[in-house]
Amino acid sequence: MVNTDTWETLQEELSKKNITLVAVSKTKPVSDILELYNLGQREFGENYVQELVEKQPQLPSDIHWHYIGHLQGNKVKYIAPFVHLIHAVDSFKLLVEINKQALKNNRIIDVLLQMHIANEETKFGLDEKEIIQLLDYYEAQKEALKNIRICGLMGMATNTENETQIHSEYFRLHNFFKFVSDTSFFNKPFFSICSMGMSADYKIAVEEGSSMVRIGSILFGNR
Ligand SMILES: *Cc1c(COP(=O)(O)O)cnc(C)c1O
């Protein structure tokens, strides 16, 4: 069951602040996606390649598909023809592969780098040092990497009730996002996305400066 009232409230609240709402539709049927589409939602997020590739052709072509999960290099080719934004790039190797597949499809693919902010081993991502190192490699090989565009950072906070901890994790992500946009991407207005916040913690993420939230269960019900 889709919570259309929640969607309306969220959409109104977020659009006032210029925050993009990505509706995370993983495991949910095409009919649920269409229900939100018909209300005006265009940004949808998925995190399984197989599932996304099955759903995409069944749905309107003006949907912006966000790939928000951990992406394996050998699967990039399946989503490269249509994906709008890849949120969780966590290695230079993956960046090179996305560029290669984007070139094959004659397009430029927008990506975010995933930063590890959670106090959990299980969440993927890079720390500040590793991101700076990746950006150094990128800078050195920029000419060969014309088919990708790094548009910002993404992160997931620890799954905890401790709001102080969530605040500090999102603060760290947003702070580093500002640093990178003032240094490596100075005067590059496309570097503008700080993707943080899910159903349980998006209010905190918004307070800490999120520009894009990824929300599933409060819109589509529990998975
Ligand atoms: C599933 C998922 C979300 C949405 O989670 P909800 O708690 O359902 O809002 C957000 N981001 C990522 C990376 C996800 O995998």
Average pLDDT across each block of 10 residues of the chain; the chain has 223 residues. List them in order: 96 98 98 98 98 98 98 98 98 98 98 94 89 98 97 97 98 98 97 98 98 98 92
> Is the distance from CB of 95 to CB of 139 less than 8 angstroms?
no
pTM of the model: 0.97
Ligand 1 close to Cβ of residue 24 (< 6 A): yes
Give the list of residues 6+ apart from residue 71 with CB closer than 8 angstroms, or none: 49, 86, 88, 89, 94
pLDDT computed for residue 59 by the predictor: 98
Quick one: which atom of ligand 1 is closest to the CA of 68? Answer: 13
Ligand 1 close to Cβ of residue 26 (< 6 A): yes
Instruction: Report the number of distinct structural domains present in the chain.
Output: 1
Torsion of CA 127, 134, 83, 41, to 10 degrees: 40
Domain extent at residue 142 = 4-220
Helices (H) and strands (E) in the chain, counts: 9, 8
pLDDT computed for residue 121 by the predictor: 75
Q: Which tokens belong to 167?
A: 């605040």
CB-hemisphere CA count at 13 Å for 92?
15
pLDDT computed for residue 124 by the predictor: 87
For residue 150, the domain's CATH number is 3.20.20.10
Q: Which tokens belong to 190?
A: 């496309």
Quick one: which atom of ligand 1 is closest to the CA of 154? Answer: 13
